[in-house]
Structure 1
Amino acid sequence: MNSSGLGLLIGGLTTMRNAGGDLVICGANKKIESLLVITKLITVFDHYRTLEEAVESYEDKEKTE
């Protein structure tokens, strides 16, 4: 992934949050996780190892709202 890919992720996150939603990352490989750490985007995105964990996070959020 290069700066264009990172820009798309930030743009997608901004669009989703402006619409009242969210965007999470799941199943990122080690290279992508490392890139997110280096760019400090790991603190911006919620990230999960599996799709199941990501879906569960949304279900948990709905219960608390």
Structure 2
Amino acid sequence: MTQEDTAVVKKKGSGKKVLRWWLIPMLFILALVGGMIAGYVVVGGQDIGSAFDYRTWKHIFDLVFAP
């Protein structure tokens, strides 16, 4: 058996591993932004522009963790 007769074996699942490492965090971020928009805009009745404002979330943080 020579070197030309042996077949190169590729690892199966390396694409799945890369997909898992990128897809799961991207879905998490998408769910976080979607939940933020749904909660603030749909339930809260506010405009979408203020949902991404830093001062809005600082105010909410201060309300939740106020002494």
| TM-score, length of structure 2 as denominator length | 0.29
Mark the structure with the bigger radius of gyration.
Answer: 2
Q: More relative contact order in 1 or in 2 (CA 8 Å, sep 6+)?
A: 1
